[in-house]
Structures are given as C-alpha cells and as structure tokens.
Structure 1
Amino acid sequence: MSGEDFTRVPPQDLDAEQAVLGAMLLSKDAILEAIEIVTSADFYRPAHATVFDTVCSMAVRGEPCDPITVGGQLDQDGNLARVGGASYLHDLVQAVPTAANAEYYAERVRDLALLRGVIEAGTRAVASGFAADGDPQEIAERAVADMQAARDRGLADRDAPPVDLVDFLAQADDEPDWVIPGVLARWDRLMVTAGEGGGKSLMLRQILMRAAAGLHPFKRARIRPVKVLLVDVENSADQARPWLRRMAAAAAEEGAPIPAGRVTVEIPDRGLDLTNPADRSWLARRVERVKPDLIAIGPLYKLALGNPNEEETARGLMSALEMLRTVSGGAALLIEAHSPHAAPGVKRRDLRPIGSSLWLRWPEFGFGLSPANGMGAEELRLMDWLPWRGSRSVRDWPAQFYEGATWPWTPVEQAGTAPIPAGTLTEEQAVAAGLIPAQSEQPEFWDDRQIG
C-alpha cells in the first residue's frame, strides 16, 4: 500500500452535514428524523458535531431550536465562537433547500461516516498485519471485531429484539389510519391510468372533492372531511375551474358544502419538473403550508422533463413524490398517468402507465379505466375499473363506472349492474343483453350510512 493511500481525504460531504443541521434548525420533524439516523460522531467536522449535540439536548428539554436559541445555548456553553459564530448558524439555515429532505441528508452523512469507519478499521488491520504484533489468529479476530464495530457504530444496542413467528401472529392487526374509510389510508399511493380523454382527471378530482366535502367517493355515505390538494400540470385554470365549480355545487346539493380552507388548487403556469431542485422545493413549501390529508397530482409524464422510459428519470420523480408524502405527514397520494396506445388488432389497450417499469411496482394500488364491452356500454360510457398491479391490501373498490349526471362518474359495485339512463336502452333490453341483472337481483350499492 502506497503512502498516498494514507494521506487521502476521508469520505465526507460538508454540504450534507450543513443541510442536516440547517433542517434541524428549521423543523421539529427534521430533528426527530435526524436523531434516528445519525449521531454526533457521524459528522466529519467537529463544529457540526457540537451544533448537533446542542440541538438534540435542547430538543430533549422541550426548548425551541432555531438559530437564535441555539446560538444562545452555544454561547452559554462557551462553544459559539468554536462553531463559527452566530452568523454560521444562519448560514446553515440558508444552506438547506428544504427541511423535507432531512432524512436524505442524514442518510448521506451516516453512510459516509460508515465508510470512514471501514477505512479506519482497515488501516488498523493493515498496520497490525505488518507489525506482526501478537498471535496471527488474534490479529485476524481483532480486525473482524473492528470491522463489525465500524458497521454497527454502537447502533446494535438500539435494535429491537428478533420477533418469533408465534409472537408475531399473536399481535393484533392495526386498524389503518384512514383518509377515506375502506379505500385509502395515510401513506397510500393510488395510480390511475387511462387513454387520452379517458376520464382519469375527472376521476381523481371527484375522489378529491367528495373527500373534502365529507362524502365517500363511491357511496352515498358520509365520512370525516379531509384537507386536500390538487396539483394539475396539464389543464389551465380556465379548463379546471368549471369542473371544480360543478363538483362543489354537487356536494352542496348533497348537503355537504365544501368550506374555505378545505381544498387547495395549484396549477403552475410554467409547468413543473420535480427532478429540478427549484421546482421540487417550491412544491414542498406549498405542501408544508397546506398539510393536506390527500393529494392528487399529474399527469405523470408532465412532472419531469427527462425521458419517462429511463430509470434515472423515474427514480428522481419517485423521490420527489415520496418527499410530498413526507412533508405532508403521510398524505395519501393520487397520481394520474397515461397508458400506451392500443396495439394494432388489440381491442383493449394496455393499462399500465407509460414510462419506466419501476412504476409497476411503486404504488400500493394501480387501476385503469377501460371502455367496457356489451350492448349499451358505449351509450352509457360504461368503464371497467381494472387493476394493472396486485393490490397490497384489500380495499373496497367498485368494478365499473358509468358517466354520471351530477358527478362525472357513478360507481357500480359489480360488473354489469349499471342503471340505464333515459333515452338509451329499455330496462328489458339491458337485462336481455346481460348488461344489468333483473330488478330482483340488483344489488344495493348506494346507501346513506355514516362511515368513519
């Protein structure tokens, strides 16, 4: 090994260290995230370790942590000048693009600290080997122990004990933290696809607006109203406003008017590229301010300027969307995406989202709207609600939707049970065609019960 190997600068990222501390000085949530990931020993710069310890100590005592209060504590401890003075604390705040990314910055600091630990352990092992100081077996065992210590960094004592299957199965299942009872829980991701003009935008807006009004999206039932955010990067304000106005009026007709402060609409004039740090930070600030329970955003292909088929673009966009869930405190996410054109000779188009195959595994739920077959289906604009990925949890989804009158879409509990609008088929014709069952067999889907 050359002398150069011992004089290289160890792996470190002072920008990431500053970002961690800056986020902690901006957000209580960032403090909680950081202390779960890093310790003061993980910081390469000693001054940063001192600031980290001070913030953690103040947070444990329940004291506010900002550049003024932390600066006062550092001054009291005689460490303010040592860390760069009060101005440096303000520099830390300016160095962080958004406090929402504190977890990412902390993981970066932790990973580089691990690499430094590995280098230190390896250096000691090399030195011991050359010195032949002691029994070779003991030297090898010390080297292994040093490497394990570098890997664990004292975290092994904080690990939860292994759980036996018997104990695991004896634990009660937690009730989901519902945003929409039986449909979407906090942190859930639902991606909806369809072709151009397939109605997916209206579907997401309908779910959003009914949830804000305290109405179940698929049943005539009341739920707890939630705060929602619509981020529409495809339609102009003039295009979106009439539909939202109609939906607000429809909610009011059902006795559930939507009050001010319940729905926030963001329609960026210049588009949105969530792989761009400036756009990502802008949207993070909006979400942090609104704190919605439910977010609808899309379409997917207009959220990034890169090639949607490339994994690098997809991973950057996924990271940005995950950030939205984090800064909102776990909002359920509705994502609109386009599906490919139907192949020649194929009647039903592929409903999977256009872009990298990573999207097929990412959401908890993936459904597509596809025109149904059968007599009268076209007149009804009857659409099948088809999964293009296996759901990770059992939820109460309709089987079909048809074009509604008051709301854009009316759900159908079982395939082939749609009511027939006036001016299309008679009920006898619809029964004969197998589009709906006989009256005595029709299921009761709409109801007036309270949910949640």
Structure 2
Amino acid sequence: MTPLVHAEQAVLGAIFLEPGQLGQLSPWLRPEHFSRPAHAAVYAALLRLKADGHPAAATKAGAPVPLSWVNDTLREASARTRGLTASYLHSLVSACPRPSHAPVYGRMVLEGAIHRGVAQHAARLHQAALADGRAGTVEETLHRVQVLSDVLADLARGWGAEARPVQPPAAYAPQAEHPQLVGEQVLADEEYLLGCLTSRPDQLLGLVRWLQPGDFADPGHQQIYRALGALHHRGEPIDQLTVLWETQRRGALADGTLSAERVRRICDPLVGGSAEHFGEQVVQASLVRTAATAARQVGALADRDALAPGQLIGYALHALGPLDDVRRRLRHAHEAEPEPLRPVSRPGAPPPAARIDAARARSRVADTTTRSAPTADPRPALAAHHNHRSPS
C-alpha cells in the first residue's frame, strides 16, 4: 500500500473520529482528489451528510460520535460505488494516527491529486500531438496545450503557489531523447519550401519573422534555411551554387549533414510557388513535435514523487515554454506582412546601398532570364519534367 493510500485512509478516519474536521477540509479538498473511487465516494457522502445537516457533523472534538455517522455514510456512499462494507469504514478509523492532523493528511491527498492530474493531462497532450502529426493538423494539439496550461494555473491557485515557469535543476532536467519519427509529407513540404525560396528569394522577407531554422525537422533542411537567410541578409544573390557554397562554409558538407548533390536537388531553380503556405505547414509540424516533447517531459516530472507540487507546477510550465514561442510565431504567420525594416546607419560605415553593392560584386552573375511563379501547385508537372530530363 502506497503512502498516498495511507493518507486517504487517514483523512477519512479523522473525519469519522472528529466530524468537525470536515469544516477545515471541505473548502479545498474535493472527492475527485482521492485516487481510489471508494475513498472518493466516502468523502462525497460525508460532504453530503454535512450539507444536509446531519447531527454528527456538529459534534465537538472529544465528544462521543453517534454510530449513525458511520452507518449513514455507508448507505450514502454505497449508492455511488459498490463493494463498501461497514468493516472497511471502521478500519479507516484505526488507520488515522491523529484526528487533529486531518488538514495535513488532506494536503497529502491534494499533493497526490496534483501529480496525478498533471500526468493525465500530459498524456492527453501527447496523444493529441501524435494524432495531429499523423493527420497533418494542429487544432487538437493547440486545445490540449491550452487545457494543460489552464490546469497548471488552477492547481497553483489551489495549492497556494505562484504559477510561473522555473527552470529545473540538473537532477530534474529532461534526458536526451531519440529523434522523433517524421512523416514523409513533412519532409516533402520542407524541401518544397526551400525550393520556393531559392527560386524566389524575395519571399524570405515575409517568412523570417516567424519561421526559424529549428522549425525544420531535418537537420540538413535547417542548414539550407540558415544559408538562405545568411545570403539574403548580406544582400548576395541566391541560386543553387551560392546556397551550396554557403552550406560548405558553414561546415554542413564536411560533417555529413548535407551532400552537394542533395543541396542542388533541393534548390532546384524550376521549383516555384507560394512559400507562405508551406512555411505555415512547417511551423505547424514543428508545433506538434514540440508539444509531443513537452508532454513527455511534463509526464516524467509528474512521475517524480519527490517533487513538491509548487516545484512540479513551475518545472512543468518551464517545459511548456518552447510551445508558447511556436504558438506565437504561428499566429504571426496569419498576420499582414509588416513594413520592411530600415537599416540603421552607423557612424563611419558605408551607406546601406553601398554595402549591398560591395557584397554583390563579389559573386554577381548576369540574370538574362525572367521567371514568374506559377499560381497553381507545380509539383506534378515538375515530377514529369524530372522523369524525362536527360542526366547532366
């Protein structure tokens, strides 16, 4: 028998011995806080008898308690659950060390309920994230994230703690996890997005506000996006070769994250389309993966009985922190594109236009063709093109 079950028995036994203790417990201890259905039914029956004005509920400490207090509780509780006997209710009396310690026993019950509730909601969030990952959606994950956040805030108020994120010490830090399995559609969306940005680099300006390298599931895709952002930031031209050169400078070819052939394939200049849609798909997939990771971390924290409720709540809110960032950026993806930022001139520095021209002069190529992006999804036509294109 666990210490939590002993605490539940002790608090019920204390109420049978001193019915007046119920007045100290009822404002904050509820039947659903008990882990065993029989104990929850007994406590709910005691609350009902007190509300109905049972004579025993007004018994002073040290005064004899009428036997009807136990018998009437058994009759009321038996209507809520099966298997209760009078002998078990009398055994609860002997399980209470000190009736006057009932509020302390009740806090133990509440502490167990907090751990159990956090674990349950973390498991539901994890299930929602897995389901949304398979379906390519995000709505249920967002709902479960909000529910878990609200539950943590409510538990903090009930326990009397402050609902604020607290970074856990090294002993409670999440362990390194194996990389999550990523669906083929997610990887295809990431590749197509990078192809769109290489073909039309002007679309980068609308994405850099809310799309980050960490949103990409594939490490190679992260490096290509970083290379695109660096080239765009420096005002240099963007094409297959410049992106390949930038990934090489960043060490992505040397460490095996990417190969030259893969970079050239992903940065196909024939890819065209709206990057905003696929960027949003990438951020949504990132949110689902982040939610699954956070749910596992919160569940692991809830399984640590050594954590006090205030610590558990603070550490759990800290684990949900990365999710808040992704949710905020996903909302920004739906907002109107802001005005372009004006470069800030520093004393003694060349004018912005001069700096950009100098950067472009290092690798300027003549652009003799003009391409326009198709409005429809060109992937089926591109697939046919690649199947019939002669090898280079």
Rg larger in structure: 2
Short-chain TM bin: 0.3 to 0.5
Q: TM-score, normalised by structure 1?
A: 0.32
Larger relative CO (CA 8 A, sep 6+): 1 or 2? 2
Normalised by the length of structure 2, the TM-score is: 0.37
Q: Answer 1 or 2: which has greater helix percent.
A: 2
